[in-house]
Structure 1
Amino acid sequence: MFNKLQPRLGIQAKRKPLPYRYFQTVINDGRPDILFHWHPELELTYVQEGTARYHIDNDFFNGETGDIILVRPNGMHSIHPINGETHVIETFQFHLDMIGSSVGDQVTNRYLQPLQDSTYKFLPCIKPDMPGYDALKDCLFLIFSLSKEEDRHFELLLKAKLHEFLYLLYYHRYVIRKYTDDIHRKNEKIRELVAYINNNYHQSLTIDFLADFIGYSKTHFMAIFKQHTGSSCTEFIIQVRLNKACELLVNSSKSIVEIANEIGFNNLSNFNRQFKQYYDMTPSHYRKQYTKTKESRSLISSNTSNN
């Protein structure tokens, strides 16, 4: 969940012969809530419909219809629904090695490597009224189209268009220098902590322990964590646990008590209260609603295969 974004309910992905992925994400009724994660691929996204709350590195903003959203390689990012609003996006992920040179030419060294090693980052959101938007949108749509249709020799044009897209970003000054050394060190510490929480959410995680884990005082830790993630550490741990609870409710036959204990809630009433507050329904209702959705999709898939 935090090391590499995987297809999940509401996301349709298709693997390609080249090292890239194109997929569409549909957020409905507050699902999926895509928590903080990162991956080595660069990510290009277009918002087809609706609004959601984005957090990319230290930037927080609402992604709206028509926006182009950019995530640098290994950039920490998350997407959160707003009041159950539908949010539909198209995304293209690729590693810069796909368009770089193995001999380390000037283009690779000057433009690609600084993005891959986090010397540079992107302005995260390009709005329709910003310079170069139309050219960027046209280029991005052609990238989407090429990756979906896979016509003869499409790989050659796809690579050319990816170079063109990066050229437009540099030309319109949407690529900027990233961090001072101090901010970079803080970012790496938070990244390490997020990975730890993801792997140990079922344990008792206190603020004192986590602050000590990354070598900060409790007060400094709480301030830095909220600055980097947009939520308190306690809220973030609850989000991770509830996200795991959703997976178990739909994909396992475990009782709600078992699930609550497995994800780190020792008190069932607290689990039920937190779940209802976050998803606006009880765990039982959630299981009934989304298991039925899953079964309907499986039935449709089975009928399609038989035909």
Structure 2
Amino acid sequence: MSSIFFTEDAYVMISAFYAISIPEFHMHTHTHGSCEIMYVTGGSCDVQCQGEDIHLRQNQFIFIDAQVPHKLSVLEGHPCAILNIEFQRCKEEGMIDLSLLQKNSEDFQKFCKQNSPFLVSQDLRSLGYALKDLITFLQKESTQKDYLASILFQRMLLELAYCVNENKQCTGMYYLRKACSYIEENLCETLKVPEIAAYTGINKSYLQLLFSRFLHCTIIDYVNQKRMERAVFYLTNSTSSITDIAFAIGYNSRQHFAHTFEKHYQMSPLKYRKLHSRTLVPDTGETQYVLEKEKMVKEIYLGREH
């Protein structure tokens, strides 16, 4: 018996399944020799895999590979409806044969290269319906050696592979955009990687991987880059003091800000301001000029009774 990613075993055996609404449940951490899919059709639940906490909502699912430590929790007062199936690769002929699926489906081939202990995704197409049809058939027929069982199971695997493959890119960009927005909105605060990751909803290692893969920098490098961009804007478009700018973009001292700025631009903030400042001091006295049809036609003195 082995992992779904161990493609040398051409057959699959279904070991358990259920479709149930759970009012409250707290499972001890355990492992088993089967792969498992938990799909939430209503409510929400919490799953812990290898020490990582995952919150699943309606139409979300988790795939857990064989021998991966995990547990399920459903809070009292927050019932959860779940479709669940457990299965394992094996060498036994006569069980569900995956050889043609492995040979002909690019989605399934790509999925099998994931080799991840667990995968979380939104249902992006029809995984929920595929699971429901498979479980309904198994419940009525009580056999997996039927040809229709094989077709339904392979359909379920195709939907699983599609969701995981598509969601990996989409979800990664979603989390990355969420983290970047949070950083930009909170530049004036003390930003810490664990807090950014917590807000984003993923662990800090995965978030750092997203920054490295798509932005080619660390999270802290990105924070500093955005602070420097904002500093440049303030230096060239305002008359705020260097100290005020430092505090406005999240530095707790003028010295720290100046040191970081000089590393980025090879000059001090003050020198940069002198070279690039575009600030103007508008002064029309007490006069407001009124334009009509793109032509100035009269002037009004502010404060005059109308």
- TM-score band by shorter chain is 0.3 to 0.5
**Larger Rg, first or second structure (1 or 2):** 2
Normalising by structure 2, we get a TM-score of 0.36
Higher helix content, 1 or 2: 1
Normalising by structure 1, we get a TM-score of 0.36
